[in-house]
Structure 1
Amino acid sequence: MKPRVSARRLWASFITAGAVIACAPGAVASAAPQAIPVEYVNLGDSYSAGSGVLPTAPGTLPQCAQSNINYAHLIADRTAVRLTDVSCGGAKTDDFYRAQYPGLKPQLEALSPRTRLVTFMIGGNDGDIFGSTVAKCVAAAASSPGANAPCKQQYGNSIARQIRTETFPKLLRAYTAIRAHAPRARVAVVNYPWILPAKPQVCPDFPIAPGDVTYTHGIQATLNDAIRRAAAITRLTYVDAAAASIGHDSCKPKGVRWIEPLISDVQSVTVHPNALGEREMAAVTLRTLARR
């Protein structure tokens, strides 16, 4: 059982119901139950949903692959909050405003003036940035054996330019809409933990060229920077999961990595956070909220 240590300042900036949260560095918080639970909403895509990490959350749409132990559920399980989690695998910023699947509502409809805390991760599926980059770089390596960075040679700055010109405005719009739908909430946007390291290397379970490891890392850095800039403009709390995940990318061994590589026997949804990654994202989110 986690130790119960009072950390009122974690919630003092956005809770008026008198909740007391426990938070220890590197651990998820714990708290006594309250008569009026804090309304907490988690939005976002498969990284936010914890897709691939079993067990699946009861009562959720199978296509969303929402984990019952994703970072939002871990926060809710150990704090005085009532979680509504509408995160869903494959979600784009457009799915904040429209139904992603029949039977689902637009994600923004989960928010209200009663909402006091919002967390989310979004942007990696806009323009299919994550999926298409991985596919392009795997294909480039297969068609150019022995080349150092065939994906970079073929696509250059085009993917990063797409993030800056197309994804960034969508992030701004989405963040502004969250603020409008939940005007009294503390809103925290979590960036993406590192999929690949910054230095060129061979990753046996991630079959791309060594130089394209660095190239792919740079594309993710461009997306995380767009997330950071949009958060600064809209005055949302920025949770830097990427910085915390250095040394825990998918090239690392089991038990160290937070992200599963392309070839994995740990979970069916690869190139996504594993259970350790979800626990660590919960911890870094709580630490960030406690500091600000």
Structure 2
Amino acid sequence: MRRTTSVLATTLLAAAAGLGAAVPAVAKVSPPSANPHSIKTSPYVALGDSYASAAGVAPFVVGSPPACSRSTLNFAHDLAAELEPTSFTDVTCSGADTSDFYASQSPGVAPQLDAVTSKTRLVTMTIGGNDEGVFTNSFFGCATISATDVLGNPCERKYGTTFTDAIRTKTYPNVVKALKAVKAKAPAATVVIVGYPEILPEVGRLSCYASMPISMGDVPWLNHEQDVLNEVIAKAAKQTGARFIDMAPSSAGHDACAPVGTRWIEPALGPINAFPVHPNATGEAAMAEQTLLQLGL
């Protein structure tokens, strides 16, 4: 049951108050014909990577593996606070890729699919960004070579279509396989995969370079890479009957170059209560709010 006073709405309104935040665009629902009244929300299992675990966002779940950096303020916990499921299990883990659904990510961390059973009725996740090392090698890799040409596009010149090719040919089938595996274990569940929020503004800004050292010409190139990643995730969701939550419209203007209080993603240098280039607590709350909105809950 939704509480009359929404914790998520309160968080988001507090962040937006006095900051001139833009009203989020109407986001897509996938599939558009789905009946929200048919969605059961318990038992609820949260899977996924660092964007799902809210890596670096204190406080952390007591007793969870430290390497997973599993926050009590991640979007799954925000959803659980709203939906009040009778059973909620969070196995999100920083650094996870799709292979960690089937095998132990590290000592003491069980395969994520172990948490999913035939009784599960709701599953949420973000996954795919770590497959083939795309996220780390592109965003953090580009930061290391940006000083060679701040105004140009040294990363694009070095890597070309390497990352987008890997996303299309490797990440896409990996996500399809992962979603099918979840469906196989929980055939009656609503499976939800949340897209990644916008990390960078539309164009490079020299004023942002100190905190996000990405060359100006590489910003559109990295934005295209993220668009491709979200596109294949949406395609995988459609193919497997999962629900895709599009974060792109609502997260525009809340990127890592936005000021404190407006941004949903913390910058590479000087992040506040989140891992570099990861969602902060407000960003996680926004991911939960969009999930509720786009599912019609």
TM-score in same-fold range (> 0.5): yes
What's the CA shift for 1:268? 5.1
Question: 16, 38, 42: which one pairs with 1:13?
Answer: 38
Residues 210-238 of structure 1: CA deviation (Å, up to 9, x unaligned) = 11111111111111111011011111111
Q: Which residue of 2 aligns with 1:39?
A: 43
Q: Which residue of 1 aligns with 2:102?
A: 97
Question: 160, 182, 186: which one pairs with 1:182?
Answer: 186
Q: Tell me, yes or no, if the aligned pair for 1:14 and 1:184 is still in contact at 8 Å.
A: no
Distance 1:108 1:226 in 2: 22
What's the CA shift for 1:198? 2.2
Q: For 2:64, what is the secondary structure of its paired residue?
A: coil
Once the two structures are overlaid, the 10-residue window that deviates more, 269-278 or 282-291, is 282-291
Question: 137, 140, 148: which one pairs with 2:145?
Answer: 140
Q: For 1:238, what is the secondary structure of its paired residue?
A: strand
What's the CA shift for 1:135? 2.5
What's the CA shift for 1:137? 1.1
Q: Tell me, yes or no, if the aligned pair for 2:146 and 2:154 is still in contact at 8 Å.
A: yes
Distance 1:102 1:139 in 2: 31
What's the CA shift for 1:3? 1.9
CA root-mean-square deviation: 1.9
Q: Which residue of 1 aligns with 2:53?
A: 49
- Give 1:115-130 correspondences, 5 Å limit: 115-130=120-135
Query: What 5-or-longer segments of structure 2 have no aligned partner?
Result: 7-33
Q: Which residue of 2 aligns with 1:78?
A: 82
Q: For 2:46, what is the secondary structure of its paired residue?
A: strand
- Give 1:214-233 correspondences, 5 Å limit: 214-233=220-239
Distance 1:125 1:146 in 2: 26
Residues 190-219 of structure 1: CA deviation (Å, up to 9, x unaligned) = 010011122233323101111111111111
Q: Write the letter of the residue equivalent to 2:144.
A: A
Distance 2:239 2:271 in 1: 41
Q: Which residue of 1 aligns with 2:199?
A: 195
Q: Which residue of 2 aligns with 1:241?
A: 247
After superposing on structure 2, the runs of 4+ consecutive aligned residues of structure 1 that deviate more than 4 Å are none
Does 2:259 correspond to 1:261?
Answer: no
Distance 1:248 1:69 in 2: 18
Q: Write the letter of the residue equivalent to 1:201.
A: R
Distance 1:95 1:146 in 2: 37
Q: Write the letter of the residue equivalent to 1:100.
A: Q
Q: Which residue of 1 aligns with 2:65?
A: 61
Q: Which residue of 1 aligns with 2:159?
A: 155
Does 2:291 correspond to 1:285?
Answer: yes
Query: Judging changes above 3 Å, is the alpha-carbon distance between structure 1 residues 4 and 260 closer, same or farther for their aligned structure 2 residues?
Result: closer
Question: 138, 163, 169: which one pairs with 1:165?
Answer: 169
Q: Write the letter of the residue equivalent to 2:246.
A: D
What's the CA shift for 1:80? 2.5
Q: Which residue of 2 aligns with 1:28?
A: none
Distance 2:38 2:196 in 1: 25
Distance 2:274 2:195 in 1: 23
TM-score (norm 2): 0.85
Does 2:278 correspond to 1:272?
Answer: yes
* % identical equivalent positions: 41
Distance 1:146 1:167 in 2: 30
Q: Which residue of 2 aligns with 1:131?
A: 136
What's the CA shift for 1:10? 8.3
Q: Tell me, yes or no, if the aligned pair for 2:50 and 2:93 is still in contact at 8 Å.
A: yes
TM-score (norm 1): 0.87
Distance 2:214 2:109 in 1: 36
Distance 2:128 2:245 in 1: 15
Once the two structures are overlaid, the 10-residue window that deviates more, 272-281 or 75-84, is 75-84
Query: What 5-or-longer segments of structure 1 have no aligned partner?
Result: 20-37
Q: Tell me, yes or no, if the aligned pair for 1:198 and 1:218 is still in contact at 8 Å.
A: no
Residues 143-182 of structure 1: CA deviation (Å, up to 9, x unaligned) = x234411111111111111111111110110011111011
Q: Write the letter of the residue equivalent to 1:273.
A: P
Distance 1:2 1:211 in 2: 46
Q: Write the letter of the residue equivalent to 1:3.
A: T
Q: For 2:132, what is the secondary structure of its paired residue?
A: helix
